[in-house]
């Protein structure tokens, strides 16, 4: 029985159970109090999907859907573990610096935001503006440096 009021805490669970029963699924709706709870781990693994049309006829091949990690990359877990370890060892500074232009920088920025640290990123002037803008948008201080190599 599905509660009629969408504000009822049981409404989402009932809808999810109903959908899952109709579609042969067995998982429940997941709710998180903090975005870091969504990081992949043994109880919340990164999803994998079987690839049916491959050249490997005698093997089952699966693809790991890394883009479904919370910040869109395999680097999410690395960034979290790095920052969390510093926090646990009482070595986490309010300001971190990492020379990066990619997924590591974005993940460190997002994890730092959640754990109370700000990231400064020295970045090549040759890196596309969109990457620098994305890092800035999510809270990193981006310092452009000359790259004449």
User: Quick one: what percent of the chain has pLDDT higher than 90?
Assistant: 26
Give the model's pLDDT for residue 97.
92
Residue 79 neighbours by CB distance under 10 Å? 24
The span from the CA of 116 to the CA of 71, in Å, is 17
Give the model's pLDDT for residue 5.
66
pLDDT(17) > 90: no
* The pTM of the whole model exceeds 0.85: no
Give the model's pLDDT for residue 68.
82
Label residue 139 by pLDDT band (50, 70, 90): very high
More confident residue, 129 or 26: 129
Residues 133-146 as b/e (b if ≥16 CB within 10 A, e otherwise) read eebeebebebeeee
Label residue 76 by pLDDT band (50, 70, 90): confident
pLDDT(2) > 60: no
List residues bridging with 120 in a β-sheet: 97, 141
Q: What is the mean pLDDT of residues 30-56?
A: 82
pLDDT(63) > 80: yes
pLDDT tens for 84-113 read 899 899 988 888 998 887 888 999 998 888
Tokens for 50? 């079987």
């Amino acid at each position: 029985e599905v509660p009629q009021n969408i504000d009822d805490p049981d409404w989402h669970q009932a809808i999810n159970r109903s959908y899952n029963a109709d579609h042969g699924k067995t998982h429940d709706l997941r709710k998180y109090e903090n975005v870091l709870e969504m990081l992949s781990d043994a109880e919340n693994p990164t999803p994998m999907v079987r690839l049916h049309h491959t050249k490997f006829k005698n093997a089952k091949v699966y693809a790991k859907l890394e883009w479904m990690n919370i910040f869109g990359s395999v680097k999410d877990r690395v960034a979290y573990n790095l920052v969390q370890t510093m926090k646990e060892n009482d070595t986490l500074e309010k300001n971190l610096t990492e020379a990066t232009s990619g997924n590591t920088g974005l993940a460190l920025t997002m994890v730092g935001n959640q754990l109370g640290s700000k990231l400064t990123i020295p970045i090549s002037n040759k890196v596309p503006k969109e990457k620098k803008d994305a890092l800035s948008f999510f809270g990193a201080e981006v310092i452009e440096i000359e790259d004449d190599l």
